[in-house]
Amino acid sequence: MKVEVLEATKSRKLVKDPSGFFTIFVDKEREEIVVEFYEPVVKDKAKKAETGKLGMVLCGTSAEALCHTISREELVSRVDHAAYLGRELQKAEIALRYRLPYTQDEEIVFKQRK
């Protein structure tokens, strides 16, 4: 049986999830990851664009539990968006556990370079 082998590549095209979008941050004081889910952006004729409305806030210390909650609540409709959230939540969990700075969409810095 012949199996196709593909080289992994990044996609440069951003496709918005029609279900909405998320912001992720680490609350150092409460020692937890906070995920804000925003409903899709609504475009109005009177306004050029309006940001999405906050629909839900999820809190926890485990990327896995947060991913399960996002999935259970059906907050994502695109597989690529779910994969992105999994990566970001895992980074946030690592930052929380090791008391590192975390900013969504940025790399975690483990050690200061000289």
31-68 confidence digits (pLDDT tens): 999 999 999 877 766 666 567 899 999 999 999 999 99
- Alpha-carbon distance values, 53 to 2, 23, 35, 42, 113 (Å): 49, 12, 14, 9, 40
What average pLDDT does range 80-101 have in this prediction?
96
Q: Which of 63, 48, 69 is nearest to 96 (CA)?
A: 63
> pLDDT value at position 112?
66
Show the 3-state SS of 54-112: EEEEEEECCHHHHHHHHHHCCCCCCHHHHHHHHHHHHHHHHHHHCCCCCCCCCCCCCCC
> pLDDT value at position 50?
66
Cα–Cα dist 23/27, whole Å: 13
